[in-house]
Amino acid sequence: MAEPETSAKIIDGKAYAERLRAQVGRDVAQLKADYKLQPGLAVVLVGEDPASQIYVRSKGEHSLAAGMHSVTHRLPADVAQAELLRLIGDLNTDPAIHGILVQLPLPKGLDERQVLAAINPDKDVDGLHVVNAGRLASGLPALTPCTPAGCMILLRETLGDLTGLRAVVVGRSVLVGRPIAQLLLQADCTVTIAHSRTRDLAAVCREADILVAAVGRPRMIRGDWIKPGAAVIDVGINRVPFDDPVKAAAGKTKVVGDVDFKEASRVAGWITPVPGGVGLMTVAVLLQNTVTAARRLAGID
């Protein structure tokens, strides 16, 4: 009998993201009805990176669809740092804005740390300000980075209680690796953060009941790196040429994750596809964070 193509169950990020966005839409309607409060999100895009343009458009469209006030500020790649900081200062004091997100990466020449530090931590719906990162690491309530929070929703929906599970996070970025390790720790997992200098990365990954891949290297995690039955969360969004040489020669590209999906799905118990997995959760959590920020800023429980 032919071997089945896939044994892992697919974690349907699209469905969970739709559900969360619908919930946010109801929360927004309630805030409007009860408090005349319309959560407002400002997204700042500097430069013309094609992927960032797509993400930013999606954030604007979904925030409007949820009933929020939404503004997108587009600045040229050669904008002066001082001008960007001035815009953030204006958004910090704008009463119609409860959430501010500066799309990363910023073009060369801009100081990312200084920009993130300029955002009012109470409006930092990206959870990247050191105050929110510190609160998260201290186990205090914080605005939490969107992609990691989205991964945690998928894991809890899939596995339920995560207590005692061994989690391996591959990648130590401020955006994903570090905060998701903190969230897994809060969920009582035993957490390892692996990275480019980790010795025998494959063996470390094979210990994982939960494997989170956030390295930004296409299909780096192979099938034989995965413990049979593990839950695999693939955060990678990498653009690569098509396998088909004719399409590749025509310059066509497709998006793949950090995990070799074909191999991994024969071994894992659950796996997120790319696209259609984690990526869609990021925007949904951003909307949820904006509602949370609006409530807190207005002093509503």
The torsion defined by the Cα of 225, 227, 233 and 234, in degrees rounded to 10, comes to 20
**Contact with ligand GUN (CB under 6 A): which of 282, 289, 290, 292?**
282
Enclosing H/E stretch for 158 = helix 146-159
104 scored as a contact of ligand GUN (CB under 6 A): yes
CB of 122 to ligand GUN, least distance (A): 17
Query: By CB under 6 A, which span of 65-73, 98-106, 129-137, 255-263 interacts with ligand GUN?
Result: 98-106
The number of beta carbons lying within 10 Å of the beta carbon of residue 241 is 14
Q: Which is nearer to ligand GUN, 171 or 230 (CB)?
A: 171
Q: Which is nearer to ligand GUN, 41 or 208 (CB)?
A: 41
126 scored as a contact of ligand GUN (CB under 6 A): yes
Is 111 a residue of the active site? no
Q: Which of 126, 209, 234, 258 is catalytic?
A: 126
125 scored as a contact of ligand GUN (CB under 6 A): no
**Could you give the count of Cα atoms lying within 13 Å of 57 in the half-sphere of its Cβ?**
7
The end-to-end CA distance of the chain, in Å, is: 58
Give the span between the Cα atoms of 287 and 301, in whole angstroms. Answer: 18
CB 248 within 8 A of CB 241: yes
CB of 52 to ligand GUN, least distance (A): 7
CB 206 within 8 A of CB 264: no
Task: Quote the tokens at residue 238.
Answer: 């990498």
Q: Which of 27, 103, 123, 260 is catalytic?
A: 103
Closest-CA residue to 102 (of 53, 40, 46, 175): 46
User: Residues 191, 292, 130, CA angle at the centre, nearest 5°?
Assistant: 50
Q: Which of 59, 124, 234, 258 is catalytic?
A: 59
Is 59 a residue of the active site? yes
Q: Which is nearer to ligand GUN, 117 or 298 (CB)?
A: 117
**Contact with ligand GUN (CB under 6 A): which of 37, 102, 142, 181?**
102
101 scored as a contact of ligand GUN (CB under 6 A): yes
Q: Which is nearer to ligand GUN, 154 or 201 (CB)?
A: 154
Q: How far is CA 173 from CA 61, 76, 181, 301, in A?
A: 27, 26, 10, 32
In DSSP terms, 211 is beta-bridged to 168, 232
Query: By CB under 6 A, which span of 71-79, 100-108, 179-187, 256-264 interacts with ligand GUN?
Result: 100-108
Is 14 a residue of the active site? no
From the number of C-beta atoms within 10 Å of its C-beta (0-12, 13-18, 19+), residue 127 rates as buried
103 scored as a contact of ligand GUN (CB under 6 A): yes
Task: Quote the tokens at residue 105.
Answer: 């990466």
146 scored as a contact of ligand GUN (CB under 6 A): yes
Residue nearest to ligand GUN (CB): 104
From the number of C-beta atoms within 10 Å of its C-beta (0-12, 13-18, 19+), residue 217 rates as middle
288 scored as a contact of ligand GUN (CB under 6 A): no
CB of 145 to ligand GUN, least distance (A): 6
Catalytic residue set: 59, 103, 126
Q: Return residues touching ligand GUN (CB under 6 A).
A: 101-104, 126, 146-147, 175, 282
